[in-house]
Structure formats: structure tokens, C-alpha cells
Structure 1
């Protein structure tokens, strides 16, 4: 019995030790709760700061919720561990007690029953105490967690309410600004109409003044003629006959001189066309220009270092400096990439300055040649701005053509101008001037007339250009229908090649001469690397087709520069080159604008675009001085 009592005493001491360890665990949990209180205080301070920055507040709020969830899960795991440990300890005690009862059963049953009851009573008491402590601890933790969650929910609701109020205020401000902009636009339209009326009134007055001057001159001439006639009648018959013969002879000489002068003017115009074409061929039937767009003031990215060594002389060179690189030995080096073109335009250049360089090619189209002007470069480099804005190449080219056609009317020339606008999207042709709902339904086909070297597109919308203002309508309609999308490289990137086709049909009623020229103004889709644009799905397919067609264009230009007469030119490899087949080869004129962006992030794409343009330039720099057979 004494031995059994000592064993039971040791068991009780072990139970007390276990209780102390549980108490330490509870203290540890309390310290953890204090840490959570500190964390909660930090989160409260962070929420106060996040009220000034909405987006950061959402991110940090999400982080705080995740931390709270982790804490709750850790508390749950700790409570479960305590319960599991307590359950295992109770099982061990029951097993030990069962073994002791088995051993003591051999002695006296009464002592055993007494000890067992005392042990069970003490054990139940300990279990109740531990269970109550665990229940209280779990209740407090749940209450604190629920309080924290409800507080966070209230904070989120308050922040959402503030955001909604801010968005509502911003919407009201936008509405006010929009109404102000509409009022300004209305005033501008009214002033424009008044200015047009003043211009028309001034033109009418000038016309009337001219008519009055001509009428006055006619009256003076008639007066002198009447005086001469009176003198003639007063003279004798022989003098009258001689004077009449002299007047008739002078009049006939004046008529003959006027006819000879008009004939010389027509001959000079024909000679001018030939000489102009020869000058253009000497400059090169294919030329490459480079334009650097200015860096945006709002951009956070440091611009790349682009230099123009001969900006004050020929403006034909551009140098791109890469970022500084430090070698393993500590040496700092900078990569330098020099390029040379027919003309280089810096960031300060305007569209008017650029058009002065290409106006001679527009004149070649009016003279009866096929002309192609491309805008090539990475996405976001300013191609559409150069080509299709209000003062871009397309409106300026049409204005020049109308002005020149008006000047040639006095020499007997009459011109008919037809315009169409198509896009090459995923190797398919779309009519940008047609209805938007028919964009993917119409099947456009390219037809070539090998005898006339002319290209037509079946079922395409053709607009008769009776004035330069029609071009603005065409640009607006085509912009709505053109395929654009957002990529990692540009929030509004053109996903197709747009081609503005202007056919010029001229006929001289006096000499019988005819001319058929085509002006193609092409806004190529932006070239981009998949690693930079991160295109997927439909954007990936578009990017692959864009890069493929640009590669085919380079192959065609390279083949035109290196091939011999009668050799194969791979026009059919792309819809773009097949459409422009008769405007790229032969005695056609081609100008490629390579547009580059000064952003450091686009440095690799910039170097790639410049290398491609340099390859085109070097391919044809040797053939630029060769004479080609011209059309009469």
C-alpha cells in the first residue's frame, strides 16, 4: 500500500507539472495576444495613412486581412494542439491508473476502491478546470477576432463610401468640363463659319473688282478702237485700207504669239514632268527617312540618349547610345549605334517640315507614277500621328494635289480623283470606309492588270474626292473601323496595316495626253517583340501576322534592290506586298519613314527598327543613282 501510495503521489506530481506547463502555454498565448494587440495598433495607423491613398489602402487592407486570417488559423492550430495534448495526457493517466488498479486488485479491494475514487475525483476536477480554461481562452479569442473583423468591415465600408463620393464628384466635374468643352466647340464652330463667310465675301469682292477692272480695260480698249475707227473714217480711203491691214496683221500676230506661248507652256510642262522624274530617280526610287518622336513630359521613364551629329548640315545621321554597363573589372562602357539615312528629323520637327521633303513624291503621283509612302516603327512611335492627323501627310498630300490640279487646268489638264481606305488585318483585307457591321463579312479580293500595271480591289468602297474636306470624313470613318487593342507596350496599339489609296486620272483635252498615277499612304502596324508586349491569345496571333508581313515587306524591298531583270520577287508572301505590287517595283517611287521612340524601355525595339531601315537604305543606296526607263 505504501508503494502504491508513492506511485500515486508521483502521478499527482506529474499532473501538477503538466498543469504548470499548460499555464505557461496560456501565458505564451497571452503574450501572443499582446503582440496581436500591437499588430492591431500598427494596422490602425496604417489604415489612417491609407485613407489618403485609395489604391495603396486596398492592397494594404488585403494584406492585413491575410495576416489576421493567418493569426486566427495559428490560434486555432494552437488550441487544437492543446486539446490534442490534453486528450493524450488524459489517456496516459487513464492507462496508468488502469495498470495501478490491476496491480492493486491483488491486494485489498477496499483500499483500491478508495484510491480509485479519490484519483477519479481529483482527475475530474483537473479535467473540468482545464476545460473551463480552454473554453474561456477560446471564447476570448473568438470575441477578439469577431470584433477585429467587424471593425475592419466597418473601415472597408467607410472607405468604399468615401471612394463612391470621390468618384461621384469626379463624374460631376467631368460633366461640367464636358459642357464647357461643348460650349467652346460651339463657339469655335460659329467663329469658323463666320470666318468662312468673311473669306467668301472677300473672294466675291475680289472677283467683282477683277471683273470691274477687266470691264474698264475693255471699255478703254473699245474707246481707243472707236477713236481709231473715227480717225480711220476721217482719213482717205487708201490710208484707211492701209491702217486696217496693219491692225489686222497686228491682231493676227498677237493671236499667233498667244498660241505659240501656250504651246511652249504645254511643252514646258511635259519637259518638267520628265526632268522631275529624272531628279527623283537620281535621288533614288526608294528612300528612307527617320523621325524621332519627342519624349513625353509626363513619362517617368528616362529617355534614351539619341544624338544627331550633322543636325546643322545634312541631317542624315542619328546615333543611339545604350545604357552604361560595368564590366567585371569595373570598367564602364556604353554601346554606340550609328545609323545613316536620306534624311533624319529630330524630336522638334513638325509635320509641315516633313511634308516639304515628300511633296515632290506627291507631285510624281500627279505626273502619272505609282508612289508608296510607308510609316514604319515600333508601337507607340507616332506613325498614326504623322500620317492621319489634321496636319498629317494624308490631308496635306490631298491639299497639294488639288492646288496643283487647279493650276494645271489652264494648260488643258482635267483630273479625276478617287480614294479608298483598306486595312490588312491577320492577312485579310477589310474595307475601312464600309459599314462596321459588314467589316468581317465582305470578301475583298486583289486583282492585277498586268498590261496596265494597275491594281484593283473588288467590292471596296470608293469615294470621289471633289474637295480636300472629303479626306477628313474618310479619316474619321476609317479610324472608327480600324482594328486597335491594348498591349503591354501601348494602351492603344494599331493591330493592322492601313492603306489610303488615291487614284489620279488625268487627261489633257488639248494635247490628248493621259496619266494614271496612284498614291499609297501606308500606316504600318507597330512592330513589337513578344517578350515586350507579352501578347497572348488573339493579340499573339495579331502580333505574329504583323511581324510576318513586315518581314515579307523587307524581303520584297531587298529582292527589288538585288534581283536581276525577270527574277522572282516574293510579292505573294503577304497580302500587304501583293496589294502594293505595282507600287513597289519598276519605276515606282517608295519612301519609308522609320519612326522611333526615345523611351529607354523601347531601346531594343528602336535598334531593331533602325537596323531594318538601314538594311533597306543600304540595299538601294547603290541603285539610287541608276536611270530607269520612264513613262511618256
Structure 2
């Protein structure tokens, strides 16, 4: 059947197209889903921007780390600047943590809002209110964008403020460094003045020695005249009575000669007392705490892997006071290879060619101070294998030479009425326990040694330790041999025969002058410290690990005690933190003399331990400079 325009047939009403309606709803849902995905994409973009801000914060953190690394090379006087930098770092960390917390809060808030929008969207689809939902979604998107823009601008402003504070702090640090340099120049001028005073005292000491030699020669001539007078008296007594008057005259002249000899001897004793006083003043001008440095020569048996480090001596070789060590090569982030040079200053530096005789010549005056009645401590400090034990206990080392000098000086003082009693003890500090190195080998672990301090006389006694009277200088070699057999040694990665304890040779000198009634009591402590080494280098485990930890702890306590003594002012000195410092308490305080000998190894493999030892010694040296400065001001 065909229908035309003229056909009188009513057109049927089209029915409701459900599929078309459903497709429109699906299309609108797809559009709405696309809008949500674009919103998610923009949110991811904002998160990436936040990540960029975090990267910027990390770059600022790297800049702060570089500033901290550069500040670590400054002198110990810049500790205040380091504290300020540490405070700024803590503030930056707090700001970063606060920023992290706020970003997390924004993320949680965004997720919560997003979940709410999804629920609202689902409800609005069910109620066919798509247009209202679209407007509401647009408003939420606009509001989120505005909040993110505000947050981004605020974070950028905070980063700029942090950068400004870092720049201001860097400028303040530069001003502090300039101030410290000016203070160092002033200290050098004061040190030069102290050296000039020392030279004057040295000249005065030389003139007094010359006067002593002249008085001694006069005394010898008077003794010769006295003998001649006695011979003449014998001759005259055998003659007749006619020579009685001549005999009386000769007897009178003899009495005058005897009186002159007694006056000369009294003058010699007075000049000896004056010499002791002037000698102590000279030692105090040099400083009651001094630091020497000795570089061990490279052994002929060194392997190719044991390459020597580059060590220079900027000043005179004969009287060197500075040492410069070139550090390892460092590669920067840009690929540039650089090397850093570490400069250290001491009271005296001995190069690899120096012998024990030259070293002892510098410390012989301290040995004389012990004979004059003062307490003296001489330490050998350094990493394992740097030559400490050789310097101390070799046949021509410091201990045999010191004992020989003491005996020679004591014999020279006998003609002035002095008599000395000398007794030596040898102990070791092993794992914070005291062992008697002169005792029987089987009794080391069972024999208990107790430290007793006499606070009134400022003396220390070792109950349970053997004390040997040294009746000759050669006796010390026997004691060194016995102590060497009993001392605790073990093999480590750093040395096949590493000392695992601190050995302390204690020589007590008690003198009495039968003519003047004077007495003197001095103590000479010669300490061979155990090798300082890092656990990463020695690779110690088990008992060796415990030994290394105790060694490093006692060395740190020794540095703390010397630092506290350098501060002065009667503050607390932590002697009891270590058995070593508690044993030497009265030999480190008061008018005692302390010499730190830092031994360094020239091998490249020991470079890190060498630098650590030198930094510790530099801290002690700076303490000595401060102490000498205070003493000079008091004397002025």
C-alpha cells in the first residue's frame, strides 16, 4: 500500500525513544567524566608543580650542606658560627616538615572533596539535574584552582624568604670569619712578644751559667790555695819557734780562704735555686701545654700499594713549626677534580729525617723540670704504625735518654748538697683496667691495682703496682724489656702488632739538700698511647672491637681534660671519665708541664687517620696557645 499527500490517513504519533534518550544520557555522562578526568589531570599538574618546589627545597638543602662543609674547614674559634648555622638548618627542617604536613592536608582535603563531588554527581544523575551539577562542578574546580594558586604563591614566597635568610647568614658568617682572622693576627703578635721575652730569659740564663762556671773555677782555685796553705802549715810546724808568727799569719790566711770557699759554695747554692726559678719561668713562657709533631719516614720495605702522601713543610726545615698535607682527589658534580690542602701549626715539627737525638734535645728541658720538682707528662699520640713505641722505648728513645740525663744531672748536683732517690713504675691502661707491666705475666689479669690520690700533697700512689728503685741509668733497659713482654698487643687490619693499651712509665724523683734543707718531689710520666684508628679501617671485631672502642673513648677523654684545663677559671675538669686521665690527674693540673707528641704516618692509606690525629693535636695546640696567653697576661 502506498500513501500520498492526498491520502486521508492520520500519521501515527511517534513513541518515546528510550535508546536515544539513554544514548544522550551516556553522552552527557561521558562529557561529565571527561571533565572529571581533566580536573584530575590539572590536579596532577599541581602535584608536579609541588614536586618541583620540593626539588627546589632539596637544592636549597644541598646548598646548605655545601656551606656546612666549607665551614668545617675553619678554625675551632668559629664554633659560634656553626651553632648559628645549625639553628638555621633546624628552622629550615621545621619549615620543610610544616610544608610537607600542609601539602598532605591539602591532598587529603582534595580527596575528600573529590569523593563528595562523586557522590553528589551520582545523586544528581539519578535526579536528572545535570545542569546544576555542571555549574556546581565548575565552581568547585574554580575554587580548587584558586586555592592551589594561593598555596603555590605562598610556598614560593616562603622559599624566597628562606633563601634570603640563608644569604644573610652566609654574609654574617663571612663577617665572623674576618673577625676571627683579625683575632688570629693579634694572637700572632702576642706570640711574637712571648718569643722575644723567652729570648731575653735565655740570654739571662746563659749569663747565669757563665757566672756559675766562673764561681766553680774560683772554688777550684781556692781549694788549690787551701791545699798549698796546709802544706806550708805542715812545713812551718816542723820548724822552730822563730816561725811561730809566720805560722799564725798563714793560719789566718787559711781561715780566710776557707771562709771564701764557703761563701763561694753558698753563692753556688743560691745560684742553683735561682736557676731553678728562672728555668721554670722559661718553661712557662713556652707554655705548660705544648704540642710537637713528628713525621715517620717511609720504610724501605713498603709495597707499591703503600704510596706516600704529599707532605710539605712551609717554613724552615731546621726549626719547622708548620706541616701541610694534601688531601685525596675529590670529584665534583660537574666532573671537576680538585684536591684540598690541610695546614697545621705546632710548637715544633720534625721531618722524616729527624733522629731521636734531635727530638730529645727539644724535650730535655722538661726532663730537667721534673728533676727540679715539677710534674711532667710527655705523650706520644698518633695512629697505629706511626712510630710511637719506637720513639718512646727504643734503645735511644725518650725513656732511656731521659733517665740518662736525670742521672747525669743528679750527679752534678751532688757537689751542691743534693741527693736524689729515683723509683720507676710501668703500668698499662687496658680496657679501662690497670695492669702492672713489671709484674709476673700470669698475674696481669688477677692483680688489682688501685689509684690513691693524696689531695693535700697533690701526689698519686699506685697500690699493688711494683716500684723499682733505679740505682743506675742502665737499669731502665731491663725494665723496658720486661714491660714490652707483658704489654697487650694484637694484630689488626692496620698493623700486625698493634698496641692495644696505653703504657705509662712513671719515674718519681725525690731530692733533698742536706746543706740548705730544701726538698723537691717531681714526677716524670712518659706515656705511649695506643694507636688511634677508625673501626672502618682496622675492621676490628670481637675483643679487638671492644679494645678499639675503649682506646678511642680514653683518647677523647684526654682531649676533653686538656680542653678543660685550657679554659681555666677553676671549672670542672672531667678526670674521672677515663682511668688514664684519673691516673695522671696531678701531673696534668696546676704547674705541671705537658707535651703532646703527635706522630703521623706518611702513607696515603693512612691519610684519613693522619688528618684525624692532626685535628686532635691542633685542638690541643690551640688550648696551649690560650693557656700561654693567659699566663703571659698574669705575669704582665
Is the shorter-chain TM-score for this pair beyond 0.5, marking a shared fold? yes
Alpha-carbon shift at residue 372 of structure 1 (Å): 0.2
The CA RMSD measured in Å over matched residues stands at 2.2
1:520 to 2:525 alignment: yes
1:580 to 2:601 alignment: no
1:587 and 1:629 in contact (8 A); partners too: no
Task: State which of 365, 378, 383 in structure 2 corresponds to 1:378.
Answer: 383
> Which residue of structure 2 aligns with residue 542 of structure 1?
547
Task: State which of 466, 470, 488 in structure 2 corresponds to 1:483.
Answer: 488
Answer with 1 or 2: which has the greater Rg: 1
1:281 and 1:626 in contact (8 A); partners too: no
> Which residue of structure 1 aligns with residue 595 of structure 2?
591
**1:316 and 1:519 mapped to 2: Cα distance?**
25
Q: Which runs of 5+ in 2 are unaligned?
A: 1-222
Alpha-carbon shift at residue 324 of structure 1 (Å): 3.2
> Which residue of structure 2 aligns with residue 273 of structure 1?
276
**1:348 and 1:313 mapped to 2: Cα distance?**
11
Task: State which of 442, 451, 460 in structure 2 corresponds to 1:446.
Answer: 451
Cα separation, partners in 2 of 1:501 and 1:219, compared to 1, 3 Å: closer
Task: State which of 355, 358, 368 in structure 1 corresponds to 2:373.
Answer: 368
> Which residue of structure 1 aligns with residue 263 of structure 2?
260
TM-score w.r.t. the length of structure 2 is 0.62
Alpha-carbon shift at residue 227 of structure 1 (Å): 5.6
- Provide Cα deviations, 1:429-457, integer angstroms capped at 9, x if missing partner: 00000011110001111000000000011
**2:495 and 2:316 mapped to 1: Cα distance?**
30
Cα separation, partners in 2 of 1:496 and 1:226, compared to 1, 3 Å: closer
| SS across alignment from 2:512 | strand
1:484 and 1:495 in contact (8 A); partners too: yes
Alpha-carbon shift at residue 562 of structure 1 (Å): 0.7
Alpha-carbon shift at residue 627 of structure 1 (Å): 4.0
Task: State which of 577, 589, 605 in structure 2 corresponds to 1:601.
Answer: 605
Alpha-carbon shift at residue 248 of structure 1 (Å): 2.1
**1:417 and 1:486 mapped to 2: Cα distance?**
36
> Which residue of structure 1 aligns with residue 466 of structure 2?
461
> Which residue of structure 2 aligns with residue 414 of structure 1?
419
**1:476 and 1:539 mapped to 2: Cα distance?**
25
Q: How does 1:96-245 map to 2 (within 5 A)?
A: 224-225=232-233, 233=240, 235=242, 240-245=243-248
Alpha-carbon shift at residue 327 of structure 1 (Å): 3.7
2:356 and 2:396 in contact (8 A); partners too: yes
Cα separation, partners in 2 of 1:522 and 1:262, compared to 1, 3 Å: same
1:292 to 2:295 alignment: yes
1:282 and 1:626 in contact (8 A); partners too: no
**1:286 and 1:222 mapped to 2: Cα distance?**
54
**2:320 and 2:346 mapped to 1: Cα distance?**
9
**2:631 and 2:534 mapped to 1: Cα distance?**
39
- Provide Cα deviations, 1:500-533, integer angstroms capped at 9, x if missing partner: 0000010111111111100000000000000000
Cα separation, partners in 2 of 1:226 and 1:267, compared to 1, 3 Å: closer
**2:442 and 2:230 mapped to 1: Cα distance?**
67
| SS across alignment from 2:537 | helix
TM-score w.r.t. the length of structure 1 is 0.62
Cα separation, partners in 2 of 1:486 and 1:255, compared to 1, 3 Å: same
> Which residue of structure 2 aligns with residue 318 of structure 1?
323
| SS across alignment from 1:303 | coil
> Which residue of structure 1 aligns with residue 398 of structure 2?
393
> Which residue of structure 2 aligns with residue 621 of structure 1?
625
Alpha-carbon shift at residue 297 of structure 1 (Å): 2.1
**2:459 and 2:611 mapped to 1: Cα distance?**
36
Alpha-carbon shift at residue 333 of structure 1 (Å): 1.8
Cα separation, partners in 2 of 1:439 and 1:219, compared to 1, 3 Å: closer
| SS across alignment from 2:627 | coil
| SS across alignment from 2:364 | helix
Q: Which runs of 5+ in 1 are unaligned?
A: 1-214
Alpha-carbon shift at residue 331 of structure 1 (Å): 3.5
> Which residue of structure 1 aligns with residue 561 of structure 2?
556
2:557 and 2:577 in contact (8 A); partners too: yes
1:569 to 2:573 alignment: yes
- Provide Cα deviations, 1:408-467, integer angstroms capped at 9, x if missing partner: 111111100000100000000000000111100011110000000000111111101001
Alpha-carbon shift at residue 625 of structure 1 (Å): 4.5
1:282 and 1:625 in contact (8 A); partners too: no
1:418 and 1:464 in contact (8 A); partners too: yes
Cα separation, partners in 2 of 1:270 and 1:221, compared to 1, 3 Å: closer
Task: State which of 358, 365, 368 in structure 1 corresponds to 2:363.
Answer: 358
**2:572 and 2:231 mapped to 1: Cα distance?**
74
**2:224 and 2:589 mapped to 1: Cα distance?**
56
Alpha-carbon shift at residue 268 of structure 1 (Å): 0.6
Alpha-carbon shift at residue 557 of structure 1 (Å): 0.3
| SS across alignment from 2:628 | coil
> Which residue of structure 2 aligns with residue 612 of structure 1?
616
Q: How many residues are treated as equivalent by the alignment?
A: 410
1:587 and 1:628 in contact (8 A); partners too: no
Alpha-carbon shift at residue 245 of structure 1 (Å): 3.2
Alpha-carbon shift at residue 623 of structure 1 (Å): 1.6
| SS across alignment from 1:510 | coil
Cα separation, partners in 2 of 1:576 and 1:233, compared to 1, 3 Å: same
Alpha-carbon shift at residue 252 of structure 1 (Å): 1.2
> Which residue of structure 2 aligns with residue 429 of structure 1?
434
**2:251 and 2:228 mapped to 1: Cα distance?**
19
| SS across alignment from 1:321 | strand
- Provide Cα deviations, 1:347-376, integer angstroms capped at 9, x if missing partner: 000001000000000000000100000000
**2:225 and 2:332 mapped to 1: Cα distance?**
86
1:319 and 1:337 in contact (8 A); partners too: yes
**1:457 and 1:522 mapped to 2: Cα distance?**
16
| SS across alignment from 1:624 | helix
Cα separation, partners in 2 of 1:295 and 1:512, compared to 1, 3 Å: same
- Provide Cα deviations, 1:208-267, integer angstroms capped at 9, x if missing partner: xxxxxxx9999976765566567x7485xxxx4542332122111101100000100110
